[in-house]
Amino acid sequence: MSPNSHQDLRTFRGIHFIRVRGSTAERAKAHAVLLKKFIPYGPMPVLAKKNEWMIRRGPAPLQKPLAQALAVGFYKKILVPLIERRLDSDIREAILAIANELGVSYADVRECVIQADAMMLLARSSLMKHVLPEWIPGGVPGCSSAVAFPNWTKNGKFLACRNFDYLIVGPWEAQPTVVFNEPTGSGEVPYVALTSAGVQTGGLTAMNREGLTLFTHAHFGKNVTIRGNPVVVVGDEVVRNCKTLGQAIDWVKRRPPFANWSFVISSAQENDAAVVQMTPDRVRVHRVGDGLLTHTNYFHSDELRKDEALLSGSYCEDLKARFCRMRQLIEPHRGQLEPRHLAKVLGDHVDFYSGEERVFGNTLSVMTTIKSAIFEPEQQTFWMGDRKESPVGLGDFVQIQTEKFWTQSVEELEALTPVLPGYRPKSPGLVEAVRHYRDAYQSFHLDNHLDDYQEKTWEHLQKAAEAFPQDAHLWIQAGIVAFKLGRFELSRRDLEKTLDLNLSRHVRLVRDLYLARTLDLLGERSKALAIYQENYAHAHYEPKLKKAFKKGLRRAFRVTDSTQMVIDLQFPDTFVY
């Protein structure tokens, strides 16, 4: 049989399954050959340009042509080459093999491999410190993972689950891909990688034949270096070369990253799991004592947490909410936990703080959930969400038994493969609102190279809020985007619709800040002052918000001040006020 024949590719329930063999470069080339007609519609074209788009659409002063040209030139001519120097020869060969097979430039494929790490470095580079001190890359990565030890599960086997949240909404989940890797290097271990067409790595979500699972999590931190290693490369090396948790930890210690990351790694053979927390100069391992490990995007280590960039109050709320909500949902099933329970956990849309179903904000399932999966490594089985739109956990999960998959025909798979239902919302209108909000997110983050992207974003937000008006987060987000567009009457209208709706303390402060600012800009200074004064006294626990309220007390907000705003659309908030 040819190593890259049609027998190594099958599409089942809309998911591409491929088998690739050989060295890193040979497997990369086989991936490109097998999925050549799908890759142009997957994440590669977006990943190749995403960082440049984010720079060009940064807030003032990056809207000045000279500053923009300097920033883009720095990224392309200095930062990218510095990162490339850290790539091993096998990764460069793999990049070249993919580029040649697809007929695209080496530079475009290279930027796909390094995009995440380059984004982290951009936020801390010396140029950005001087040109724009509070520049934040749009689309903050966030993921949620859990590992249940045998004492928590009904069959006494390990279970691990994972939401992969990333900003490439649309292209990624449109071409979901499972890669069965058969590496041929000495001592290397076969493994499956859950990814998307064109992204040939096990460094994000993977399980190897020895029962090791690996899930990658991003952390924004102050400690970065240009002498590190791309996290997806290191993750792929771990699942390809390691058989035990100890080996995996040792491997990571020898391969420090460019920025701040964590691997959630479980070892079914050893009945053990850990969060391996990484900065460029430190690795700290977190374990649990009760048999349930949950992780989002903040370090468990107090030492490492001191250097984390906790970008806003809503960002912090969301990290805690996802972490606590996972435990809250899984706890009642202690000793009886099954994959069907985790399928509903991954798609959960309940705000941990209010107990209400929400479209976004403080929920496990988010707009950027482009991959959801559950693993039973001892059985070499996993369940993968097959919904073709994010959030993937709102659809079904299909079971894949890796040892049997290629021995069955597609017809047999269709007839015999079990399917688990994901989360089913209780509130009418939520699914429709989710779709509109997803459209808004895509406009803001994937189409932000278009001149009218903010107007389109606001239009989609209005549709989402009208479809699910009880979600205050929708109205606040619509109000913030309207504010950014200079539509202050509309902003005031949307923000005031939340006055009687349920909000966390932080989001209420954000709402009041922008409501006061709209009043300033509409000539109602006395009303604005009353809001600034009342909230200044209550914002003592949030220095950035307290500073913003104090500034409002000193002088009325001006239209030109809004150029500093940084909006993300993952939270009802802004990163820069």
**Domain over 144-421 is classified CATH 3.30.70.1350:** no
**For the chain, what is the mean pLDDT?**
92
Strand partners, 392: none
Structure token pair of residue 281 = 């100069």
Overall fold of domain 430-576: 1.25.40
pLDDT of residue 397: 98
Residue 148 scores a pLDDT above 70: yes
Residue 127 scores a pLDDT above 50: no
Confidence of residue 5 (pLDDT cuts 50, 70, 90): low
State what percent of residues in the chain have pLDDT above 70: 95
**Alpha carbon 135 to chain centroid, angstroms:** 19
DSSP state, 211?
S
Which residue ranges does the chain devote to CATH 3.60.60.10?
144-421
Could you report the per-residue pLDDT of 564-574, keeping only the tens digit for each?
A: 888 889 999 99
Residue 57 scores a pLDDT above 80: no
Residue 379 scores a pLDDT above 90: yes
Q: Quick one: the chain helix, strand, coil %, rounded to 5?
A: 45, 20, 35
Mean pLDDT in residue range 200-206: 96
Residue 425 scores a pLDDT above 70: yes
- DSSP H/E element including 194: strand 191-196
Residue 63 scores a pLDDT above 70: no
Between 324 and 563, the more confident residue is 324
Task: Compute the residue count for the chain.
Answer: 577
| 571 vs 312: CA distance, rounded Å | 9
pTM, two decimal places: 0.94
Confidence of residue 371 (pLDDT cuts 50, 70, 90): very high
pLDDT of residue 29: 97
Structure token pair of residue 39 = 């890759």
Residue 469 scores a pLDDT above 90: yes
- Return the axis-axis angle of helices 472-484 and 453-467, rounded to nearest 10°: 160
Which residue ranges does the chain devote to CATH 1.25.40.10?
430-576
Residue 138 scores a pLDDT above 60: no
Could you report the per-residue pLDDT of 279-313, keeping only the tens digit for each?
A: 999 999 999 989 999 999 989 999 998 888 778 88
Do 442 and 536 contact (CB within 8 A), yes or no? no
pLDDT of residue 132: 40
Between 142 and 403, the more confident residue is 403
| 477 vs 479: CA distance, rounded Å | 5
Structure token pair of residue 103 = 């007929």
Rg (CA), the chain: 23
HSE-up of residue 392 (Cα within 13 Å, Cβ side): 32
pLDDT of residue 62: 65
Do 199 and 184 contact (CB within 8 A), yes or no? no
pLDDT of residue 527: 98
